Structure 1
């Protein structure tokens, strides 16, 4: 089974659903429609007993995802509303990755930056090609990333969060593996197949037990993200005045 919609390729490989971001010409940046489609696919798959796990990857060899498409034109011409639409769509996608009861694995074919990096951090497992990297470079754009800081602090501690958030640097896959942000580093061109192997192994676990463990493991990061979203909302309101 293969379907294409909103710059996405969705295919079922045995019991693993593979979602491929297919917008390499735009650095695989996510539009609002793309984020909504991925979120809906993840949620629907979790209700399908024949789908045991989900793998999220991207086309191309250099970039997994450069984040949300901040240049996407608002359909109604309202820039402020478009910012809110992007924020809500990204929040829903993050929640889907965190809350979906079946495993969600990222296969990084290249750089995971901004929102792309956040999704990789929130996944149940992450497999990255040797040339891949994770970056939360919002500081270079003059933007505070409360969500990114919260995720990194909850996952790897304050020192790691300070390192990446305040420098905006790209952390190579090998270093990210040593820091516990990536599970497997794969040779070029093999990240997807190795991610499917990981997805298959995790998908074989008892569905209910896996879901309960996942919910418990994610409880602190969800609190941190909720606090960060509230802070982001305050900043959006202030900038709209």
Structure 2
């Protein structure tokens, strides 16, 4: 199945979702985020789908995050910010709450929301030279979600380092910190992702889902808190713009 900016298809017992928007640095539109979330949710309802693998086309960028330049279909910029926020929240929730394992195959640099997806997945394998980046501070905006995700998963020191400097975290460093599962040569990426997805997908589905729920409960709480702060921030910006 092909959606605008996405390629989605089954490979044996796995659902593979590929971001395919190289001309826009694989940045995700609202429709793309909704499409990925919908595909993940549908996979979780299919007993024949044991795992979902999320990757991207190309050799430089996995995903540049959310496409903040996407224009609103009705010309309402404030409403478009709300759409982006809700679509991203639904996508994040699908990754951390769906019963089936979600594996990210990181083919290159993951920025912003792209990095968050890699961090929140049940497994992540990256090519040598890939990196994670939350550089919002470099364009003068805060990342409440990114800060909370990194604090929960990597600890305060790492969160303060990456969030406040905007620097990239090389894949090997992410592996050493336990944030991703493996670093491989580019030619081994799909094979490695398949094997991780097979290993996780072979587990008892109900037990895996229960464990995932408890493992991610702190992350879910942190994300909810961050989303509330994002909403207050959007309301303030909207009020200033009137």
Same fold? TM cut 0.5: yes
For normalisation by structure 1, the TM-score amounts to 0.98
Gaps of 5+ in 2: none
CA RMSD of aligned residues (A): 0.7
Structure-1 residue corresponding to 2:25 = 27
Structure-2 residue corresponding to 1:112 = 110
Structure-1 residue corresponding to 2:150 = 152
Structure-1 residue corresponding to 2:227 = 229
Report if aligned partners of 1:104, 1:124 keep a CA contact under 8 Å in 2: yes
1:189 deviates by 3.3
Q: Helix, strand or coil for the counterpart of 2:74?
A: coil
Q: Once the two structures are superposed, what CA deviation does each residue of 1:187-232 show, in whole Å capped at 9, x if it has no partner?
A: 0232222111100110000000000000000000100110000001
* Pairing partner for 1:163 from 161, 164, 170: 161
Structure-2 residue corresponding to 1:205 = 203
1:56 deviates by 0.1
1:93 equivalenced with 2:91 (yes/no): yes
Distance (whole Å) between structure 2 residues aligned to residue 188 and residue 86 of structure 1: 32
Distance (whole Å) between structure 2 residues aligned to residue 176 and residue 192 of structure 1: 19
Structure-1 residue corresponding to 2:137 = 139
Distance (whole Å) between structure 1 residues aligned to residue 178 and residue 162 of structure 2: 14
- The correspondence of residues 7-46 of structure 1 with structure 2, limited to 5 A, is 7-46=5-44
1:177 deviates by 0.6
* Pairing partner for 2:79 from 69, 78, 81: 81
Report if aligned partners of 1:43, 1:100 keep a CA contact under 8 Å in 2: yes
Report if aligned partners of 1:57, 1:192 keep a CA contact under 8 Å in 2: no
Q: Helix, strand or coil for the counterpart of 1:190?
A: helix
Structure-1 residue corresponding to 2:124 = 126
Deviating above 3 A after TM superposition, structure 1's stretches of 4 or more consecutive aligned residues are none
How many residue pairs are counted as aligned between the two chains?
Answer: 239
Distance (whole Å) between structure 2 residues aligned to residue 67 and residue 192 of structure 1: 22
* Pairing partner for 1:177 from 175, 178, 193: 175
Distance (whole Å) between structure 1 residues aligned to residue 182 and residue 235 of structure 2: 40
Q: Helix, strand or coil for the counterpart of 2:187?
A: coil
Distance (whole Å) between structure 1 residues aligned to residue 154 and residue 35 of structure 2: 30
Distance (whole Å) between structure 1 residues aligned to residue 195 and residue 25 of structure 2: 26
Moved more, 186-195 or 153-162: 186-195
Q: Helix, strand or coil for the counterpart of 1:64?
A: strand
Gaps of 5+ in 1: none
